[in-house]
Amino acid sequence: MDQKNKELAKIFNRIADALEFQGANVFKIIAYRKAARVLDELSQDVEVLSKTNKLSDLPGIGKAIAGKINEYLTTGKMKKYEEVTKDIPGTLFDMLDIQNLGPKTLALAHKKLRVKNLNDLKKAIKNGRLAKLPQMGEKKVENIKQGLDLYERAHERLSIAVAQNVAREIIEYLKKNTEIKDISAAGSLRRWKETVGDIDILTTGKNGAEIIKIFTKFPMTERVLAAGETKSSIIVKGGIQVDLRIVKPKSYGAALQYFTGSKAHNIKLRNIAKSKGLKLSEYGVFKGKKMVAGKTEKEVYKILGLAYVPPELREDRGEVELALKNKIPKFIEMKDIKGDLHMHSTYSDSTATIRQLTDFAWRFNYEYILVTDHSQSAKYAHGLEPKRLYKQWKEIDKINKRSKKSRVLKGVEVDILKSGKLDYPDKILKRCDVVVAAIHQGFTKNVTERICAAMDNPYVDIIAHPTGRLISQREGYAINLHKVMEHAAQTGTWLELNAYPDRLDLNDVYLKIAKEMDIKISIGTDAHSIGALLWMKFGVAQARRGWLEAKNVVNTYSLKKLQTMRKINKNRIE
Ligand code: DGT
Ligand code: CA
Ligand code: CA
């Protein structure tokens, strides 16, 4: 398998790192680096080359290195590697990727200051001891500090929204400046995972080296990590890593499948291929030497006997088994969305007037929007006391008079108070078209009980952002989500999928459970500006990752149907 190529490349790079760290002869280091690169970019299978004694035909692979490859392939170990890495902690290894921090400096910091990891290094910078080492000084330390910041930023996961913007810019840039035909994002970005480790882009093109040269000149590039004939990695502003790969058109589908992942999904597929006497790789599907599929993703899935699996589903959560039985349902799509049930206006803390929200929303052909400003106790957000709420309703009435097709609905995002009571009396909630309730205060105090009590109120239709998490910023409320979900199912309360990319709350995993429990979901943008109404797409993508179909999502229903589905109306009928 070509997997071994990668493993070996990594091992040789590690050896070079270790030698560099130890201050070994520079030519040795270069030799190992070269071998690593050759293996990494090799299109043939290193195991095959080893068996046919053709390893030393490769440029950069001499007898000694070929011997080490053979040793690893037959024993699974490499003595040289074990020998040179024996005394170096693994966390130190990773730190060699920090720009401006050379192996010599790192070795010195390790020996004299006992630096073993990032935290130690930060401390040594802060307390000035690093600067006092021989041949260091403030200027050098300042450079290392910059490298460290970049390194840390690169190792954070990005929000899907940020990653998507960067990828779009790069793809547009490449399309404009090169003659590529097929190009697509791959990896977690294409799967719409809520956070993205790095951005993967795949393309076909004749002159790989030329495309890569242009890629590395992308105006936002901060650093080029690698630039070969078929692949390149750069760090762009914000410390974001972008990997580009160039493949042959006949392998484009197989490569797209492979680099979209997830790894777990791919492993399942490879095993299915094996069981059918086929071999699946990023180059295609092969029967013996003959390539039998690979140009498109669809034909790859087809030849394996699987229904096509949309990228958002590829997490090995049961989708492969479903595809084998040809039972992949039709998941929700943007075009199913008939309205947005969570947004704010200038009456509370948004920059958009109701008029602006309306004008913008109708561009998406929505049938309805629900204006849900904050309630009176939400002082921080200029929450509406009843008088201003009534004033808002008058304005909504006026707007609705002028519009025939679409309707602005009267809603609120009513605070669930610390006491467990709601921030408006029933006589106000009763007059709303749809009521959204949410926790905005007392994040640790009886949250489960308070939310359940809110769901007991017959006028409360939706619990907004049920867990309260902010991705990479805040954990969320102290909540027993299982209890909340059970209570939602019992009371017929809908749970929100907040589409704001930093929230995505409920997340994909809980959405799937909610679907199994027959809980209805409302996808709302929680927009505080008109532009944020566009976030609906992030909500829909997460809904797909949670296996939701249109029928599981209340804002895919017509207004008429939506009204009959409110628990207050259901109870009246029953
Ligand atoms: P990320 O970047 O951490 O958000 O996650 P991904 O899924 O984008 O992962 P990444 O960038 O490391 O690799 C992109 C895809 O390439 C991954 O989803 C599946 C494929 N891939 C990478 N390494 C392997 C591997 O060792 N085996 C298999 N089967 N697939 C791999
Ligand atoms: Ca990635
Ligand atoms: Ca990657």
- The DSSP annotation for 258-282 comes to HHH--HHHHHHHHHHHHHTT-EEET
pLDDT tens digits along 46-62: 998 999 999 988 888 99
Q: Report yes or no on 399 lying in a domain.
A: yes
pLDDT of residue 144: 94
pLDDT reading at 335 higher than 80: yes
Which of the residue ranges 69-73, 89-93, 437-441, 482-486 would you say has the lowest mean pLDDT? Answer: 89-93
- Residue 536 and residue 337 in contact, taking contact as beta carbons nearer than 8 Å: yes
Residue 574 falls within a domain, yes or no? no
List the residue whose alpha carbon is closest to atom 27 of ligand 1.
263
Length of the chain, in residues: 574
Determine, yes or no, domain membership for 471: yes
Q: Which ligand is nearest to the CA of 196?
A: 1
pLDDT digit string (tens) for 110-147? Answer: 999 999 888 899 999 999 999 999 989 899 999 999 88
Asked whether residue 201 carries a pLDDT value surpassing 80, the answer given is yes
100-104, 142-146, 326-330, 369-373: segment of lowest average pLDDT: 100-104
Cα 319 to Cα 323: distance, rounded to the nearest angstrom: 6
| Ligand 1, atom 14, residue with closest C-alpha | 187
- Of 205-209, 401-405, 428-432, the one with minimum mean pLDDT is 401-405
* Residue (of 201, 196, 193) closest to 162 by Cα position: 196
Residues 206 and 355 in one domain: no
Cα separation of the two ends of the chain: 62
Ligand nearest to the CA of 157: 1
| Domain end position, chosen among 183, 214, 247 | 247
**Cα–chain-centroid distance for residue 339?**
25
Ligand 1 — pocket residues by CB below 6 A? 187-188, 193, 196-198, 200, 258-259, 261-263, 266-267
290 and 389 in a single domain? The answer is: no
Same-domain pairing of 364 and 227: no
CB 195 within 8 Å of CB 549: no
Hey, which of 263, 309, 315 would you mutate to test ligand 1's pocket, going by the most ligand atoms within 8 Å of its Cβ? 263
Residue nearest ligand 1's atom 20 by CA: 259
Res 445: pLDDT: 85
Digit-coded pLDDT (tens) for 143-185: 999 889 877 776 778 899 999 999 999 999 999 999 998 999 9
For residue 572, what pLDDT is reported? 53
Distance between CA atoms of residues 30 and 342, nearest Å: 58
Q: How far is the CA of 356 from the centre of ligand 3 (A)?
A: 40
User: Best of 7, 188, 314 to mutate for ligand 1, by most ligand atoms within 8 A of CB?
Assistant: 188
- Interval between CA 46 and ligand 2 midpoint (Å): 25
104: β partners = none
Whole-angstrom CA distances from 561 to 393, 463, 550, 558 are 22, 20, 13, 5
Q: Nearest Cα to 283, choosing from 198, 210, 190, 204?
A: 204
543 and 434 together in one domain: yes
Co-location of 475 and 507 in the same domain: yes
Q: Indicate which atom in ligand 1 lies nearest the CA of residue 157.
A: 4
Q: What is the pLDDT of residue 5?
A: 86
Nearest ligand 1 atom, CA 193: 4
pLDDT of residue 154: 65
Angle at 76 between CA 72 and CA 79, to 5 degrees: 60
Pair (194, 241) in one structural domain: yes
Q: Is residue 121 part of a domain?
A: yes
Q: Whose CA is nearest to atom 5 of ligand 1?
A: 188
- How far, in Å, CA of 98 to CA of 164, rounded? 26
Q: From the CA of 200, give the closest atom in ligand 1.
A: 11
CA 515 – CA 509 distance, rounded (Å): 10
Does residue 91 surpass a pLDDT of 90?
Answer: no
| 145-to-114, 165, 479 alpha-carbon distances in Å | 18, 28, 39
Cβ within 8 Å of residue 394, ≥6 positions away: none
In a domain, 270, yes or no: yes
90 and 226 in a single domain? The answer is no
Task: Count Cβ atoms below 10 Å from residue 376 Cβ, excluding itself.
Answer: 18
User: Are 425 and 317 part of one and the same domain?
Assistant: no
CATH number, domain with residue 143:
1.10.150.110
In this structure, are 165 and 18 located in the same domain? no
Domain total in the chain: 4
* Nearest residue (CA) to ligand 1, atom 18: 261
User: Distance from the CA of 233 to the center of ligand 2, in angstroms?
Assistant: 11
For atom 28 of ligand 1, which residue has the closest CA? 263
Q: 324, 359, 385: which is the final residue of a domain?
A: 324
**Index of the ligand 1 atom closest to the CA of residue 195:** 4
Q: Tell me the CATH number at 236.
A: 3.30.460.10
pLDDT of residue 501: 94
**How does strand 199-204 pair with strand 183-186?**
antiparallel
Residues with Cβ within 8 Å of 378's Cβ and at least 6 positions away in sequence, in order, are 348, 415, 423, 440
For residue range 281-308, what is the model confidence (pLDDT) as tens digits?
A: 999 999 999 999 999 999 999 999 999 9
Residue nearest to atom 8 of ligand 1 (CA): 187
DSSP state of 438: E
Q: Do residue 207 and residue 266 come from a single domain?
A: no
Residue 47: other Cβ atoms inside 10 A: 15
pLDDT band at 251 (very low <50, low <70, confident <90, very high): very high
CA atoms of 434 and 528, how far apart (whole Å): 19
CATH code of the domain in which 311 resides: 3.30.210.10
CA of 263 to the centre of ligand 1 (A): 5
Given a cut of 70, is residue 218 above it in pLDDT?
A: yes
Ligand 3: centre distance to CA 258 (Å): 12
pLDDT score recorded for residue 162:
92
CA of 45 to the centre of ligand 3 (A): 21
Does residue 569 or residue 273 have the better pLDDT? 273
- Final residue belonging to a domain, choices 132, 154, 176: 154
pTM: 0.78
Q: What angle do CA 517, 522, 525 make, to 5 degrees?
A: 140
Q: Which two tokens stand for residue 406?
A: 């679409």
Specify the DSSP element, H or E, that contains 344: none
Pairing of strands 231-236, 221-227: antiparallel
CB contact at 8 A, 270 and 320: no
Ligand nearest to the CA of 233: 3
Q: Which residues pair with 437 in a beta bridge?
A: 414, 463
How confident is the model at residue 574, as a pLDDT?
Answer: 45
Residue 144 sits in the same domain as residue 175: no
How is the beta sheet containing 368-374 ordered, strand by strand?
339-340, 368-374, 407-415, 434-438, 462-463, 494-498, 521-524
Are the CB atoms for 228 and 33 separated by under 8 Å?
Answer: no
**Res 238 pLDDT > 90:** no
The answer to whether 499 and 524 have CB atoms below 8 angstroms apart is yes
Assigned token pair, 151: 């390194």
Asked if the model's pLDDT at residue 404 lies above 90, the reply is no
Residue 114 lies in a domain: yes
Report which ligand 1 atom has the smallest distance to the Cα of 188. 8
Q: How far is CA 231 from CA 179, 201, 542, in A?
A: 17, 10, 30
Regarding whether 373 and 266 lie in a shared domain, the answer is no
- How many Å lie between the centroid of ligand 3 and the Cα of residue 198? 5
**Atom 24, ligand 1: which residue's CA is nearest?**
263
- 240-247 and 199-204 as β-strands: parallel, antiparallel, unpaired? parallel
Q: How confident is the model at residue 92 (pLDDT cuts 50, 70, 90)?
A: confident
Distance 537 CA to ligand 1 centre (A): 24
Q: Whose CA is nearest to atom 25 of ligand 1?
A: 263
Question: Mean of the pLDDT values across residues 33-37?
Answer: 90
Residue 102 Cα to ligand 3 midpoint, Å, equals 24
Instruction: Determine what percent of the chain is predicted with pLDDT higher than 90.
Output: 78
Residue 381 in this model has a pLDDT that exceeds 90: no
- Overall average pLDDT of the 80-109 stretch: 85
Q: How far is the CA of 78 from the centre of ligand 1 (A)?
A: 25
> What span, in angstroms and rounded, lies between the C-alpha atoms of 481 and 467?
7
Closest approach atom of ligand 1 to CA 266? 29
Range of 311's domain?
Answer: 251-324
> What pLDDT is recorded for position 1?
43
Instruction: State mean pLDDT over 315-323.
Output: 97
Most confident of 18-32, 189-203, 370-384: 189-203
Contact 278, 304 (CB under 8 A): yes
Ligand nearest to the CA of 158: 1
Arithmetic mean of pLDDT over the chain? 93
Ramachandran category for residue 457: left, alpha or beta (phi over 0 → left; psi -120 to 50 → alpha): beta
CATH code, 376 = 3.20.20.140
pLDDT digits (tens, 9 = 90+) for 505-522: 999 999 999 999 999 999
Peptide bond into 506 cis (omega under 30): yes
| 233 occurs within a structural domain | yes
Residue 75 lies in a domain: yes
Q: Which of 266, 268, 274, 280 to mutate to test the pocket of ligand 1 (most atoms within 8 A of CB)?
A: 266
- Cβ-contact 304, 272 below 8 angstroms: yes
Q: Are 9 and 37 in contact (CB under 8 A)?
A: yes
CA of 116 to the centre of ligand 2 (A): 28
Give nearest CA residue, ligand 1 atom 1: 197
Span 189-207, average pLDDT: 96
Q: By the 8 A CB rule, do 73 and 39 touch?
A: no
CA–centroid distance, 475 to ligand 3, in Å, is: 27
List Cα–Cα distances, 424 to 374, 430, 443, in angstroms: 11, 10, 20
Q: In a mutational test of the pocket of ligand 1, which residue from 158, 240, 259, 281 has the highest number of ligand atoms less than 8 Å from its CB?
A: 259
Give the model's confidence band at 21: pLDDT under 50 very low, under 70 low, under 90 confident, else very high.
confident
